[in-house]
Amino acid sequence: MKQFDEELAPDACLVTQLLRAQFPQLADHDVRPSQASGSSNFVFRVGEEWAVRLPRTDGYTADLLTEARWLPHLAPHLTVPVPEVLFLARPSGLFPRPWSIVRWIPGEPPERLDRGAQARLATSLGRFMRQLHRLDACDLDLDPHQWGYRAGEPVTEVIDRWADTAAEGLRDLFDPRQVKEAWRRLRRVPPASGPPCWIHTDLSSENLLVSGDGNLLGVLDFGGLSIGDRSVDLLYAWSMFDQEAREVVRRKAEADEATWLRARAWAFVGPGLLTIHDYRDCMPARTATLTAMVQAVAAEVGVSLR
């Protein structure tokens, strides 16, 4: 058997071989690459109903296994479609990591939404968050070290260091003194106002599917699913929505003042400044979106970053 070459991206021929070896029921369907492939997984459509997801590196295997473990328990309690895992495959010589087959969810990522579409997405996304955050997590380990840093606090010594690093590294984009002043004001956050709950941790536009008029049709990529403070799920409100729609998602998610201030702090450094710093050369579109986001966040505390 030919061994998988880590230097090469998998192709449709390899995926067909994988299906024949472990899930032959789908091996005769048309297999083709999907534009939905992201930074974590290679994605291939299988017919019209299914997709194969293959982790790009060993580091993303845990995310795939998290989805396979928990989504069957959560999905029945959510009214928005989420990935249905049909099959979890074993590593093999053809592909050295576990991979999965999921049901395909139709829709498109939200891009350039008008005011009405923003309001509809904010309404449906806020309701989805409220449903997810209300699901029972009482019997699970609440230690943030078990779940990852986004299950912890939005202000830590580590995040302070990230802010300083990004401020210096982005001095051609922003005044580093203004970046540090904005973070000084933003980092003064209250304690979490509620108990730890189920959180998605990455509700960015890349992980949402919408209809043409902005209604939420699906939520993807639950690899970062965790137990923690719900504020982290609201952080992308500053990248997707104008001020009016942000108030809609806040209201529909039932986010109080403490949760909102913590979400704003989350938005500024990790997904904001640090992502711009690390990916500005290879992800220009995302960089532009996040640049606008951190400027909007800083403006709310009276700081211009330029």
186 vs 266: CA distance, rounded Å? 9
Residue range 296-304: mean pLDDT, rounded: 97
Domain check: are 288 and 162 in the same one? yes
Name the amino acid, one letter, at 105. Answer: I
293 vs 76: CA distance, rounded Å? 33
Name the amino acid, one letter, at 165. Answer: T
> Which residue has tokens 């043409």?
212
Residue range 231-246: mean pLDDT, rounded: 96
Percent of the chain at pLDDT above 90? 84
Instruction: Based on DSSP, count helices (H) and strands (E) in the chain, helices before strands.
Output: 11, 9
Domain check: are 129 and 51 in the same one? no
71 occurs within a structural domain: yes
249 occurs within a structural domain: yes
Give the closest residue to 219 by CA, choosing from 98, 99, 144, 131: 131
Q: E strands along the chain, which residues?
A: 31-33, 41-46, 50-55, 85-89, 99-103, 197-199, 208-210, 216-219, 226-228
pLDDT tens-digit readout, 45-64: 999 999 999 999 999 999 99
Phi, psi of 146 (to 5 degrees): -70, -30
- pLDDT band at residue 142, thresholds of 50, 70 and 90? low
160 vs 184: CA distance, rounded Å? 9
Is 25 a residue whose pLDDT tops 70? yes
5 occurs within a structural domain: no
Beta-bridge partner residues of 50: 46, 103
Is 145 a residue whose pLDDT tops 70? no
Domain check: are 166 and 284 in the same one? yes
Residue range 38-47: mean pLDDT, rounded: 89
Residue range 186-197: mean pLDDT, rounded: 95
Domain check: are 69 and 119 in the same one? no
108 occurs within a structural domain: no
**pLDDT at res. 140:** 64
C-alpha separations of 289 from 4, 192, 204, 238, 294 in Å? 36, 28, 11, 10, 9
pLDDT tens-digit readout, 259-282: 999 999 999 998 899 999 988 888
305 vs 293: CA distance, rounded Å? 11
**pLDDT at res. 111:** 87
- pLDDT band at residue 141, thresholds of 50, 70 and 90? low
Name the domain count of the chain: 2
Is 289 a residue whose pLDDT tops 80? yes
C-alpha separations of 233 from 71, 87, 95, 130, 204 in Å? 17, 28, 33, 10, 9
**pLDDT at res. 219:** 97
- Which domain-ending residue is among 71, 103, 135? 103
Name the amino acid, one letter, at 112. Answer: R
3-class secondary-structure state, position 172 = coil
186 vs 265: CA distance, rounded Å? 6
Domain check: are 200 and 277 in the same one? yes
Domain check: are 261 and 215 in the same one? yes
Residue range 123-129: mean pLDDT, rounded: 98
DSSP label of 302 = T
91 vs 258: CA distance, rounded Å? 44
* Domain of residue 254, CATH code: 3.90.1200.10
* Domain of residue 42, CATH code: 3.30.200.20
265 occurs within a structural domain: yes
Domain check: are 62 and 20 in the same one? yes
**CA torsion sign, 138 to 205 to 235 to 114?**
negative
- Which domain-ending residue is among 74, 103, 132? 103
Q: For all residues of the chain together, what is the average pLDDT?
A: 92
- Which domain-ending residue is among 103, 129, 160? 103
Is 2 a residue whose pLDDT tops 60? no
The interaxial angle of helices 284-300 and 176-186, nearest 10 deg, is 60
- pLDDT band at residue 227, thresholds of 50, 70 and 90? very high
CB 52 within 8 A of CB 86: no
β-pairing verdict for 226-228 and 31-33 = unpaired
pLDDT tens-digit readout, 155-174: 999 999 999 999 999 999 99
Domain check: are 95 and 159 in the same one? no
Domain check: are 140 and 98 in the same one? no
Domain check: are 191 and 62 in the same one? no
Residue range 195-216: mean pLDDT, rounded: 94
Is 6 a residue whose pLDDT tops 60? no
Domain check: are 145 and 294 in the same one? yes
Domain check: are 58 and 138 in the same one? no
3 occurs within a structural domain: no
235 or 144: which leads in pLDDT: 235
82 vs 258: CA distance, rounded Å? 28
CB 123 within 8 A of CB 253: no
What global pTM score does this model have? 0.91
166 occurs within a structural domain: yes
Residue range 98-116: mean pLDDT, rounded: 94
**CA torsion sign, 191 to 197 to 133 to 71?**
positive
Range of the domain at 145: 115-300
305 occurs within a structural domain: no
138 or 184: which leads in pLDDT: 184
Residues 6 or more apart in contact with residue 138 via CB below 8 angstroms: none
